[in-house]
A = this chain, B = another copy of it.
Amino acid sequence: MISAEMTRLAHSNSAIRAMFEEGNRLASIYGRDKVYDFSLGNPNFPAPAQVKDAILDVLNEEESTFVHGYMPNSGYPDVCQAIADSLNRRFGTDFTGGNILMTVGAAGGLNVILKTLLNPGDQVLVFAPYFLEYGNYVRNYGGELAVVPPNLPTFQPNLEKFEQMLTPATKAVIINTPNNPTGVIYSEQTLEKLGEILERKQAEFGTSIYVLSDEPYRELAYDGAQVPYVTKYYRNTIVGYSWSKSLSLPGERIGYLVIPSEIDEYRLVFDAAAISNRVLGFVNAPSLMQRVVKRCVDCTTDIGPYDANRRALYDGLTACGFECVFPQGAFYMWMKTPVDDKAFVEAAKAYNILIVPGASFACPGYVRIAYCVAPQTITNSLDGFKKLAEKYGLTK
């Protein structure tokens, strides 16, 4: 009766809800501090002080009708320009404000650009493991998702399979670096090769294939690792960004798309994306937060606490005998399971540990452990992980 698709999603969503309810149930029995919830990518660290300062400055220095009012659907021109300037300073790019479209977070940006690009039946490729929501975004616009199998053990994209899967119906490829759930950063070599393949296939098919680079974790790179800026490696690249993780503002829904002038049909794509922003009901990115990020555009993210968590968790898990991908970025540990990943997730609940099965990222045999948590959550969980390792005969 109501939307068949949404009815299906409402029913299949029960797994995630069950995890929430399990967390609440465990917390009511054992206390919240005895439940080790690694299931969500919700930053546990407060926004930097500059954010609050910026909000106060905006409210004191700018006009209410301006700060809270409508602006062009693509965003305040001065905010877009400030973002372009910052990207150019940091990555040696050559953007203008006319390449930036402010969005309701990265999820809003991806929906805007998919609505703009896809005709029903168009194919969109993703690399497993991937954030499952991409599939819903693609299907919102009648697109068909095709999943490139994972590339063990590096978890760099599997470019050989990728090349075989490209067809004349391929309209876009979604990549995500630093990666959720693996923590891998795509290397320069990977991006060069990806670009070469796509240029060749575009020429062969006579089509345009857009890379959509979803980059909410760009600022979370450890050990001085550089995250290559994807537009430099492939001309038809559109970047989606969000301040959810870098400024700990996930609830504020503030991000942007970079739509470079060099892409095919730039003018039409940009104009249509601004209209997609409007007709999907976003209308524009939240106005006060646009004014705020302009003032925080060069804020650096303190990755120290995440880095400390990363090392503590990696060391703790490997000492138990677990095999993990050592994360180069983001705040997820991608761990191999000694048994079926869903069975392992169930077994972990016995120790009040909540984690997400790899099957939820189209990559069974692994689990995702989100370490954007309080440090003591990690410390206190390790005893449970040790018992899990013993249970499955991993302990060295």
Q: Is A107 an interface residue (CB 8 A)?
A: yes
**A6–B276 contact, CB under 8 A?**
yes
Instruction: Report whether B71 and A281 are in contact in the complex, using a CB–CB cutoff of 8 Å.
Output: no
Among residues of B, the one whose C-beta sits closest to the C-beta of A283 is B107
> Which residues of B have CB within 8 Å of A13?
271, 275
Q: Is the CB of B282 within 8 A of A108?
A: yes
Q: Does A111 contact B (CB under 8 A)?
A: yes
Does A268 sit within 8 A of B, measured CB to CB? yes
Which of A60-68, A191-199, A221-229, A348-356 lies at the interface?
A60-68
User: What are the residues of chain B within 8 A of A276 when measuring CB–CB?
Assistant: 6
Q: Is the CB of A9 within 8 A of B112?
A: no
- Shortest distance between the CB of A72 and any CB in chain B (Å): 9
A119 at the interface (CB under 8 A from B): yes
Asked if residues B68 and A251 are in contact (CB atoms below 8 Å), the reply is yes
Q: Is the CB of A108 within 8 A of B281?
A: yes
Bound together, the chains give a CA A280 to CA B138 distance in angstroms of 10
Which among B7, B71, B111 is the interface contact of A251 at CB below 8 angstroms?
B71
Chain B residue numbers with a CB within 8 Å of A382 are none
Contact status A3-B118, CB under 8 Å: yes
Q: Quick one: which of B2, B282, B290 contacts A104, CB cutoff 8 A?
A: B282
Among the stretches A39-47, A318-326, A330-338, the one at the interface with B is A39-47
**Is A35 an interface position by the 8 A CB rule?**
no
Residues of B within 8 A of A137 (CB): 279, 281
**A298 contacts partner chain B, Cβ-Cβ < 8 Å:** no
* Contact status A116-B6, CB under 8 Å: yes
Which residues of A in the span 296-352 have a Cβ within 8 Å of any Cβ on B?
A: none
A386 interfacial by beta-carbon distance below 8 Å: no
Interface class of chain A by DSSP:
helix
The complex places the Cα of A286 from the Cα of B56 at a distance, in Å, of 18
Residue A69 is within 8 A (CB to CB) of chain B in the complex: yes
Question: Given that A3-B116, A275-B9 are contacting pairs, would A250 and B281 also be in contact in the complex, using a CB cutoff of 8 Å?
Answer: no
Task: Report whether B42 and A63 are in contact in the complex, using a CB–CB cutoff of 8 Å.
Answer: no
| Contact (Cβ within 8 A) A44 B70 | no
Q: A105 touching B283 by the CB < 8 A rule? A: yes
Residue from B7, B104, B140, B279 within 8 A of A279 (CB atoms): B140
Given contacts A59-B55, A275-B13, are A252 and B7 in contact (CB under 8 A)?
A: no
Say yes or no for A284: interface residue by CB 8 A criterion.
yes
Shortest Cβ distance from residue A79 to the other chain B in the assembled complex, whole angstroms? 12
Tell which of B118, B140, B250, B286 touches A69, judged by Cβ atoms closer than 8 Å: B250
Interface positions, chain A 21-58, Cβ under 8 Å from B, are 40, 42-47, 51-52, 55-56
The list of the 6 closest CB pairs from A to B, nearest first, reads: A251-B287, A46-B64, A111-B281, A107-B281, A6-B272, A136-B279
Can you list 28 contacts pairing A with B, beta carbon distance less than 8 Å? Answer: A2-B269, A6-B276, A9-B279, A13-B275, A44-B65, A46-B63, A46-B64, A47-B68, A52-B59, A55-B55, A55-B59, A56-B56, A65-B248, A68-B248, A68-B252, A69-B248, A70-B250, A104-B283, A107-B281, A107-B282, A112-B281, A136-B279, A140-B279, A251-B284, A252-B286, A253-B286, A286-B286, A288-B288
Which residues of A approach B to under 8 Å, CB–CB?
1-4, 6-7, 9-10, 13, 40, 42-47, 51-52, 55-56, 59, 63-65, 67-71, 104-105, 107-112, 115-119, 133, 136-137, 140-141, 207-208, 248-253, 264-265, 268-269, 271-272, 275-276, 278-290
